Amino acid sequence: MCADKCSECDVVIVGSGVAGALMAKRLAHKGKSVVILEAGAKIPANINAYMNRFFRASDKAPESPYTPEPSADPAWVNAGRPTSPMIGAKSAQSYLIQKGPLAFGSTYERIGGGTALHWLGTSLRLVPNDFSMASVYKRSDDWPTGLIDWPIDYDALNSWYGEAETELGVSADVRDQAYLGIRFPDGYSYKMPGIPLSKVDAAVAAALTKFTPGDVRFLELDDPHRSWTVTSTPAARNSLPYQSRRVCAGNTNCIPICPIQAKYDPTVTLNDALDTGWLDIWYRTVAKEVVIGENGCVSRINYIRYKQDIGGPIEEGCISAKVYVLAGNAIETPRLLLMSKNGGRTAEGVANRSDLVGRNLMDHPFYVAWALMPEGSPVYPYRGPLSTGGIEDLVRDGSFRSNRAAFRIEIGNEGWNFVVGGIGGDPALTTVDLVTGRNRSEVHKLNEMLFGKKLVNRLNDLITRQIRLGFLVEQTPDRKNRVTLSEQHYDGLGLPRPAISYDLSNYTKKGIVAAKRTADLLFKKMNATSFTKEPPPGHPMAFDWPIDGKMTRIAFGGAGHLMGTYRMGSDPRNSVVNSDQRSWDHPNLFLVGSGVFPTTATANPTLTLAALVLRTAGVILHKDLG
Amino acid sequence: MGDLPPAILGQGPQGVDKEHNVPFTRRTVLTGAAAATTAATVGTVYTLLPKFAARSDPAPADFEDFIQMSAALTGIEASKLKPKVDPIDVKTEYFDWIRARSPAFGDLLAFFRSASYKERFPDSLFEAPQSTTEIGWLARSIILLWYLGAWYDPSELRNLDQQPTPKIISAKAYTQGWIWRVAQTHPMGYSEWAFGYWQDDPPPKEKFV
């Protein structure tokens, strides 16, 4: 190793996703020299390179526009990542080694700009009680031990939320969002007005007016008489021109890629930071070990650089800085920390005196339900952003959280696009059914093959009546849900692949059951016919639960919201970083991203992790580099 | 009848006719009700094939028949499949693609052209027994190509238990798929509409197809 010849800069950041990008921008604008080590490929000069890959992909999955090839063998890929076809696959074919008992169903990207290239853009704030679950809702001894308070509260983040909303460019209306204790500084307004609701949202809203307190008794809401509403979801998606980017044209493609960059992605921030001249991004550079010096501080990061997605040549090097920021995600960051054994001096990994690195892995288990509106009542899906409206104000918080997980409801504008499996989802799947006499969609008669005008009319009738609801359920932290290093499976660089142990607590399962019952109720009030399938026995992401005396098998998916594996806290014995996201063990090491979340709450995590990163950038500038 | 040219019956592997749940072979096809009519026209059909297969450039007549046949199969008017101003020209890409991959393409065009079938086309094609021959499955591949911009190999379609492995033949083929217009929308990732359009009902179906 070239220990004496390490490159030098003020701050090294590992990862160029939304957290790394925002950190780099804040530091570079203050004239600090910053190097980002990015494991994946460079952002193409023209987004159409990605669009072309997306258009040509037969499987329009979140990863389909991006490199490396989603179906490539993870043993050969230099910087691999989990992809949709790998969910439920055997270990050898899966980047993540699934150790069960349930499968972990979320994926991510390792590429310039990170997973937020394919994010939806949802930018909800947490509600104040999300920061103090134990002190507000712990009522009895069977309270899940992992459900703890955060070391900071809503008010400490309020102004940082505002800054994050400015950086990401969030469209929303304050009056819609001031619920469940969410408060804004006087005179605050979002950067752009809220995104208009869709016809699907309107159909859901109409059904909600038919809810009676008796209908929703099972939810144990604090005020069952309050009326239910659909609100425009705050989104980092332009409703006005912003940051030299266009207004949303409703491409219905936020995931996997917005073709006109009306949705924020980290390349916006990275380009801004690069323009300062103080940022350098080293692509295809995988951090391999965080090296700890004699004084307990990080002294350098050793890395491997590679030239192609698969195969050699590779070269090794190191980089030194005053401050180190790990901004991978809640799987890759603990993987790096656990790989960093320093010749045995940190045999259990760097920053891991608490033994919590990699533990408490969480997601938002995603309960998805789909249905057909009644004949003659089209809702015209496949139009507008993937989701424009949701139901939040009643269901995200309440005293029911003493007993079960909360959730938020996301209304889909993409019909059955990702809920019916195989051959590219819908509308392709239903089209193939009708033309060839299959019935994988379950809306068609086996062996009946349509053509001509009859095909046009039947397809129009079916596709325009599709609806999809998604429920993002809070997941409790559990020490046994963890990321470790595989001892059998390696990536193309010879580094151990992440192994995942994952399960759901009864508290979380009860939240998923409440979500399912809410979906059933909503479909009933819409006079819609549910086509949500009960998963087969042995499904890797399902569990059995009695509903009204009948054992029911319920499936859930991953939301792509990786959280918890290097959590923040106020006690070094019970957390990995403090509220500044600084390692308790190594004073010049910061771990950022949603891995610091002690609990998941119900909001998509990006806005909160962005607010935390901006806050930490201020700490670094004033305390460490000031 | 036993001398029917193999071309019109399809030369693919023997399969199972799911509709009738019997193995389908040349012989079972021949016993179908329409076999007699088929036989009456095959002379013309057969003589067309070698010429068709030998050509490297599409003849205007073949191409025009392809458009007319596609309109009947898809339910979308020929004037929309072949608009007067058409710089994208996905139709030629489709024609060339099919010609390069399916030996039965000429047979299908010949079937479409033959006097006794043309009037009732495509019902005449999709009635047993032709429905489950090679040209029947090719016709369905052609429908899916126009709708989805993807090639579903006819040999995969005929086995209903098999999950097809489609190939999107080009970026522009995906964006020109008719399914999106049939659903009164735009291709996902290729909206040419303006902010907020999703608040309102789309224009009526007739404006799209």
Whether B44 shows a pLDDT value over 90: the answer reads no
Nearest-CB residue to A451 (from B73, B179, B209): B73
Residue B59 is predicted with a pLDDT of: 64
**A449 contact B CB<8A:** yes
B21 pLDDT above the threshold of 80: no
Tell me the domain boundaries of chain B. 6-175, 177-209
CB-nearest partner of B148 from A257, A431, A455: A431
pLDDT, residue B37, reads: 34
Q: How many CA atoms lie within 13 A of A416 on its CB side?
A: 29
Beta-bridged to residue A577, according to DSSP, are A568, A583
What's residue B117's pLDDT? 83
The per-residue pLDDT of chain B, averaged, comes to 77
What pLDDT band is residue B47 in, cutting at 50, 70 and 90? very low
Quick: pLDDT tens for A351-396. Answer: 999 999 999 999 999 999 999 999 999 999 999 999 999 999 999 9
Q: Is A431 on the interface with B (CB under 8 A)?
A: yes
Minimum CA–CA partner of B195 in chain A: A249
pTM: 0.92
pLDDT at B26: 30
Nearest CA in chain A to B73: A452
pLDDT mean over A71-83:
96
Chain B residue with minimum CA distance to A57: B168
- In this predicted structure, what is the pLDDT of residue A520? 98
pLDDT digits (tens, 9 = 90+) for A155-167: 999 999 999 999 9
* Closest CA in chain B for residue A241: B195
pLDDT tier for residue A5 given thresholds of 50, 70 and 90: confident
User: Is 90 exceeded by the pLDDT of residue A20?
Assistant: yes
Is the pLDDT at A600 greater than 70, yes or no?
yes
Band (pLDDT 50/70/90 cuts) for residue B11 is: very low
**What percent of chain B shows pLDDT beyond 90?**
61
Q: Considering chain A, what is the average pLDDT of its residues?
A: 96
For residue A449, the chain B residues in CB contact (below 8 A) are 126, 131, 140
For range B138-155, the mean pLDDT: 97
pLDDT at A422: 58
A446 to chain B, any CB pair closer than 8 A? The answer is yes
Q: For A225-253, what is each residue's pLDDT tens digit? A: 999 999 999 999 999 999 999 999 999 99
Question: Between chain A and chain B, how many beta carbons pairs sit less than 8 Å apart?
Answer: 165
Of B144, B167, B193, the CB nearest to A431: B144
Contact A413 B139 (CB under 8 A): no
Of B166, B167, B183, the CB nearest to A382: B183
d(CA A376, CA A379): 10
Instruction: Provide mean pLDDT across the span A195-210.
Output: 98
Q: State the pLDDT at residue B57.
A: 45
pLDDT at A131 over 80: yes
Residue ranges covered by each domain of chain A: 1-188+264-363+475-503+561-626, 196-232+366-474+505-555
Across A1-10, A324-333, B175-184, least confident range: A1-10
- Whole-number Å distance between alpha carbons of A401 and A508: 10
pLDDT at A43: 86
* Interface contact B201-A257, CB threshold 8 A: no
Which residue among B144, B190, B201 sits closest to A380, beta carbon to beta carbon?
A: B201
Which residue of A56, A427, A437 is in closest CB contact with B168? A56
pLDDT in the model for residue A424:
63
CB-based contact A431 B192, cutoff 8 Å? no
Work out the minimum CA distance from A187 to partner chain B, whole angstroms. 27
Mutation target among A372, A382, A457 for the B interface, most CBs of B within 10 A: A382
**Which residues of chain B lie closer than 8 angstroms to A385, CB-CB?**
198
**Cα–Cα distance between B137 and B131 in angstroms, integer?**
7
Query: Is residue B14 over pLDDT 60?
Result: no
Instruction: Tell me which chain B residues have a C-beta less than 8 angstroms from the C-beta of A456.
Output: 74-76, 182, 209
Q: Quickly state the pLDDT bin for A4 (edges 50, 70, 90).
A: low
Residue B45: is its pLDDT beyond 80? no
pLDDT tens digits, one per residue of A105-121: 999 999 999 999 999 99
Whether residue B81 is predicted with pLDDT greater than 90 in this model: the reply is yes
Interface test with B, best of A432, A454, A462 (most B CBs within 10 A): A432
Q: With an 8 Å Cβ cutoff, is A388 touching chain B?
A: yes
DSSP secondary structure code for residue B77 in this structure: -
Instruction: Tell if the CB–CB gap between A456 and B74 is shorter than 8 Å.
Output: yes
- Provide, rounded to the nearest whole percent, the portion of chain A with pLDDT above 70: 99
| pLDDT surpassing 70 at residue B32 | no
Q: Is residue A59 very low, low, confident or very high in pLDDT (cuts 50, 70, 90)?
A: confident
Taking an 8 Å cut-off on Cβ atoms, the answer to whether B189 and A259 are in contact is: yes
**Burial class of residue A205 in the structure, from the number of CB atoms within 10 Å of its CB (0-12 exposed, 13-18 middle, 19+ buried):** middle
Task: Answer yes or no: is pLDDT of B204 > 60.
Answer: yes
Beta strands A482-490 and A496-502 are antiparallel
Is the Cβ pair A251, B190 closer than 8 Å? yes
pLDDT(A258) > 90: yes
Q: For residue A292, which of A352, A334, A335 has the smallest C-alpha distance?
A: A352
Residue B38 has a pLDDT of 35
CA distance A218 to A137: 18
Q: Does domain A196-232+366-474+505-555 have CATH number 3.30.410?
A: yes
Could you please report the per-residue DSSP string of B83-151?
Answer: -SS-SS-HHHHHHHHHHHH-TTHHHHHHHHHSHHHHTTTTHHHHSTTGGGSHHHHHHHHHHHHHHHSEE
Percent of chain B with pLDDT over 70: 71
Collapse the DSSP code of B200 into the 3-class scheme (helix H, G, I; strand E, B; otherwise coil) and give the result: coil
Which segment of A15-19, A352-356, A617-621, B18-22 scores lowest on mean pLDDT? B18-22
The Cα of A428 is separated from the nearest Cα of chain B by a number of Å equal to 7
Closest residue of chain B to A254, computed from CA coordinates: B189
Q: Which tokens is A399 given? A: 């005293």
List of residues 6+ apart from A376 with CB closer than 8 A: none
Contacts of A384 (CB under 8 A, 6+ apart): A196, A198, A250, A252, A413, B197, B198
Instruction: Please report how many Cα atoms fall inside a 13 Å half-sphere around the Cα of residue B184, on the Cβ side.
Output: 23
Partner B contacted by A274 (CB < 8 A): no
pLDDT at B60 over 90: no
Q: What is the predicted pLDDT for the residue at B105?
A: 95
Residue A79 has pLDDT above 70, yes or no: yes
Q: Which backbone phi and psi does A535 adopt, to 5 degrees?
A: -70, 155
Characterize the bridge pairing of strands A314-326 and A589-591: parallel
Please tell me if residue A435 touches chain B, with a CB cutoff of 8 Å.
Answer: yes
Contact flag A250-B148 (C-beta cutoff 8 Å)? no
Subunit contact B182:A449, Cβ cutoff 8 A: no
Q: What is the CATH number of domain A1-188+264-363+475-503+561-626?
A: 3.50.50.60
Q: Tell me the C-alpha distance between A322 and A293, whole Å.
A: 12
Q: Is A285 in the B-facing interface, judged by CB distances under 8 Å? A: no
**Mutant choice from B195, B207, B209 vs A, greatest count of A C-beta within 10 A:** B195
Structure tokens at A363: 């997601």
ipTM associated with this complex: 0.94
Residue B39, pLDDT > 90, answer no
Q: With contacts defined as CB-CB under 8 Å, which chain B residues touch A388?
A: 198
Query: How sure is the predictor about B12, in pLDDT bands with cuts at 50, 70 and 90?
Result: very low
Q: Is A57 on the interface with B (CB under 8 A)?
A: yes
Q: Which residue of B has its CA nearest to A248?
A: B195
| pLDDT for A162 | 98
Chain B residues in contact with A455 (beta carbon < 8 A): 74-75, 143
pLDDT at position A605 over 80:
yes
